[in-house]
């Protein structure tokens, strides 16, 4: 499976661009893997807005943790995962508490390797949306620094396997590779 990584800052147009690319590649034959969980009212509204914006013919798999299995289960040749940012956060939570950094690192690394393996076992295109969180200030606490580091590692690992990397800046796509 050819991987296309779409990264950038918050609200930079990553999802919209990835959805447009998925439509261009496959029209209605897209499987959308959603990783968000509705923990509060604001997140519920965001999830509802994303659902409303997606084409009605797309298959949707809502999977906050086992994204590799969702990619394996996808029935279409184009799969869009939105997003790694929330997926890594979900993996770092255990019963609502942040897990130890070394445990989180092992869990995330194994999951990312499984995702890349799942993608390699399929034909088609895997579009992956993620945030770039490493360009700002150093977070003030250990959990936030561990998250930033693990998401940075995840993004780099997926980018290394990607055929194409697109950085969204102020709504504009910049091809990195």
In angstroms, the CA 145 to CA 143 distance is 5
The tokens for 93 are 């939570």
Sorted by sequence, the CB contacts under 8 Å of residue 16 that are 6+ apart come out as 53
Sorted by sequence, the CB contacts under 8 Å of residue 30 that are 6+ apart come out as 22, 23, 55, 58, 59, 76, 78, 79, 80
The tokens for 167 are 């950085």
50 is catalytic: yes
Q: Which of 117, 24, 131 is nearest to 67 (CA)?
A: 117
Q: Identify the active-site residue in 50, 122, 148, 164.
A: 50
The DSSP output letter for 35 is -
Q: Count CB atoms within 10 A of the CB of residue 93.
A: 15
In angstroms, the CA 97 to CA 125 distance is 34
What is the set of active-site residues? 50
């Amino acid at each position: 499976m050819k991987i296309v990584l779409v990264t950038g800052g918050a609200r930079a147009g990553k999802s919209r661009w990835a959805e447009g690319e998925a439509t261009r590649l496959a029209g209605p034959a897209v499987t959308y893997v959603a990783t968000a969980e509705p923990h509060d009212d604001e997140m519920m509204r965001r999830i509802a807005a994303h659902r409303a914006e997606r084409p009605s013919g797309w298959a949707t798999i809502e999977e906050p943790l086992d994204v590799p299995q969702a990619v394996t289960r996808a029935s279409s040749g184009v799969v869009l995962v939105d997003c790694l940012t929330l997926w890594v956060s979900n993996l770092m939570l255990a019963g609502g508490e942040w897990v130890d950094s070394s445990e989180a690192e092992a869990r995330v690394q194994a999951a990312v390797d499984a995702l890349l393996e799942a993608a390699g076992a399929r034909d088609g295109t895997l579009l992956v949306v993620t945030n770039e969180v490493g360009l700002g200030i150093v977070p003030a606490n250990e959990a936030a620094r561990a998250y930033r580091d693990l998401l940075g590692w995840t993004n780099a690992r997926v980018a290394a396997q990607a055929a194409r990397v697109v950085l969204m800046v102020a709504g504009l796509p910049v091809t990195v590779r």
